């Protein structure tokens, strides 16, 4: 993607300008971010997704000034009537299940893949909404069908009501108000208060991001590092040949504290272990994702990643779906290109080493990638 090119998606800003001026800082309203766009998924298709076991969905209903929430899946008949006001169906991770939703998400890859989360679709009947709230992550709210009135505010008081089953602000102080029409989009940074109410039936697509929480990341990485250290041939045990007799047996020996600190320092000092653990963690598929293995795919013409595959790289590795590979030279360049653009053409494959081809073909067998027919653009 050319990050210096003005984009209608960002109201004429380049991706570079948007990231500098707005990302994690301040909202951006874009009228006709996607001009003449017609939303790819119909209401019936959204309802069909919500009926599937492996798709995460929620139903939110306002009843007499309060909210009710249920988790899916929802058979069609379990949803309220379309004429009934004040309900919303939210379907998470649509990009994992629908190629068109996945393609839409790709337009936002001016943000690193490591930060991109998913595409959520909400369907609301007239008056529907999830109440005034804030999200912990950045979001682009793209109006897909019908109209929604958004009220937003910078408020500091983020205390929540404790009498409802979802996160609803106790005191909402909106400062601005916009009615979004199909193709319009609103970007909000994390913790920006907002409330969107459907004016008539409407659908909104939320392009969502993720950001690791420090404590959770530390826990995850330490577990992975310790698993790697555990693979040592012979466990290194704490030894204390110089331990003196103690009159206070409850006290933890200082030597044992030093041993513990040394154990962690060694795990961290292991060359590239942290980088490897991070890449594997970031590319780990979500728990509701599985791949359809394919019988011996032939990929003479090109290869494309499956929409569910997460692929990233660092200076020494490529990562895909929780696995890491060391890569250098021409193969590394090739694998990085695959991670960045998510496909390779026949010219790329012609330059690949036998090892790289074998790897790509094993990924095709696993359903992580698919052979891609030659297109006009490849000629
Ligand atoms: C919605 O689409 O109804 C809610 C999205 C949001 O406010 O984050
Ligand atoms: Co929100």
Distance (angstroms) between ligand 2 centre and the Cα of 281 equals 26
Closest residue by CA, ligand 1 atom 5: 206
Closest residue by CA, ligand 1 atom 4: 130
Distance (angstroms) between ligand 2 centre and the Cα of 320 equals 30
Distance (angstroms) between ligand 1 centre and the Cα of 154 equals 17
Nearest ligand to the CA of 120 is 1
For residue range 191-231, list pLDDT tens digits in order.
999 999 999 999 999 999 999 999 999 999 999 998 877 76
For residue range 338-349, list pLDDT tens digits in order.
999 999 999 999
What whole-number distance in Å separates Cα of residue 154 and Cα of residue 332? 44
Closest ligand 1 atom, CA of 120? Answer: 2
Provide the residue count of the chain: 379
Burial (Cβ within 10 Å: 0-12, 13-18, ≥19) of residue 169: buried
The per-residue pLDDT string of the chain (379 residues; one tens digit each, 9 = 90 and over) reads 899 999 999 999 999 999 999 999 999 999 999 999 999 999 999 999 999 999 999 999 998 888 999 999 999 999 999 999 999 999 999 999 999 999 999 999 999 999 999 999 999 999 999 999 999 999 999 999 999 999 999 999 999 999 999 999 999 999 999 999 999 999 999 999 999 999 999 999 999 999 999 999 999 999 999 887 776 678 889 999 999 999 999 999 999 999 999 999 988 998 899 999 999 999 999 999 999 887 666 666 899 999 999 999 999 999 999 999 998 899 999 999 999 999 999 999 999 999 999 999 999 999 999 988 766 555 5
For residue range 138-156, list pLDDT tens digits in order.
999 999 999 999 999 999 9
Taking CB atoms and a 6 Å cutoff, what residues make up the pocket around ligand 1?
88, 122, 129-130, 135, 139, 194, 196, 204, 206
Which of 206, 207, 208, 209 for a ligand 1 pocket mutation test, highest count of atoms within 8 Å of Cβ? 206
Which of 41, 118, 120, 131 for a ligand 1 pocket mutation test, highest count of atoms within 8 Å of Cβ? 120
Which of 129, 184, 192 for a ligand 1 pocket mutation test, highest count of atoms within 8 Å of Cβ? 129
DSSP letters of 187-227? EE-TT-EEEEEEEEEEEEEEEEE----HHHHHHHHHHHHHH
Q: 133: which 2 tokens? A: 């709230």
Predicted TM-score (pTM) of this structure: 0.94
Nearest ligand to the CA of 90 is 1
Nearest ligand to the CA of 149 is 1
Contacts 24+ apart (CB under 8 A), 320-326: 320/283, 320/363, 320/368, 321/283, 321/284, 321/285, 321/291, 321/368, 322/280, 322/281, 322/283, 322/284, 322/285, 323/280, 323/283, 324/276, 324/279, 324/280, 325/359
């Amino acid at each position: 993607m050319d990050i210096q090119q003005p984009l209608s998606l960002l109201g004429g800003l380049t991706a570079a300008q948007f990231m500098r001026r707005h990302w994690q800082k301040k909202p951006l309203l874009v009228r006709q971010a996607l001009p003449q766009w017609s939303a790819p998924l119909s209401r019936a298709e959204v309802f069909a997704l919500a009926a599937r076991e492996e798709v995460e969905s929620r139903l939110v209903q306002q009843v007499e000034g309060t909210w009710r929430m249920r988790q899916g899946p929802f058979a069609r008949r379990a949803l309220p009537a379309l004429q009934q006001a004040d309900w919303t169906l939210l379907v998470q991770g649509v990009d994992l299940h629908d190629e068109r939703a996945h393609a839409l998400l790709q337009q936002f890859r001016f943000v690193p893949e490591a930060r991109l989360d998913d595409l959520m679709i909400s369907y609301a009947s007239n008056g529907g909404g999830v109440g005034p709230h804030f999200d912990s992550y950045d979001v682009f709210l793209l109006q897909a069908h019908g109209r929604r009135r958004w009220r937003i505010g910078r408020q500091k008081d983020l205390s929540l009501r404790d009498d409802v089953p979802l996160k609803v602000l106790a005191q909402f102080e909106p400062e601005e108000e916009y009615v979004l029409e199909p193709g319009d989009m609103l970007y909000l940074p994390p913790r920006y208060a907002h409330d969107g109410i459907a004016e008539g039936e409407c659908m909104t697509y939320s392009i969502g991001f993720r950001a690791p929480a420090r404590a959770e990341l530390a826990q995850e990485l330490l577990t992975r590092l310790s698993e790697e250290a555990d693979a040592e041939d012979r466990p290194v045990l704490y030894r204390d040949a110089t331990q003196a007799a103690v009159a206070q047996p409850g006290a933890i020996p200082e030597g044992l504290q030093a041993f513990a600190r040394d154990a962690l320092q060694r795990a961290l000092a292991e060359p590239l272990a942290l980088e490897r653990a991070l890449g594997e963690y970031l590319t780990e598929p979500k728990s509701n994702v599985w791949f359809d293995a394919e019988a011996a795919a032939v990929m003479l013409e090109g290869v494309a990643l499956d929409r569910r595959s997460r692929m990233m790289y660092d200076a020494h590795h490529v990562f895909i779906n929780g696995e890491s590979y060391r890569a250098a030279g021409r193969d590394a360049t090739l694998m990085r290109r695959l991670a960045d653009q998510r496909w390779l053409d026949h010219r790329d494959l012609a330059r690949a080493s036998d090892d790289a081809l074998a790897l790509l073909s094993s990924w095709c067998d696993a359903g992580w990638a698919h052979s891609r027919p030659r297109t006009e653009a490849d000629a």
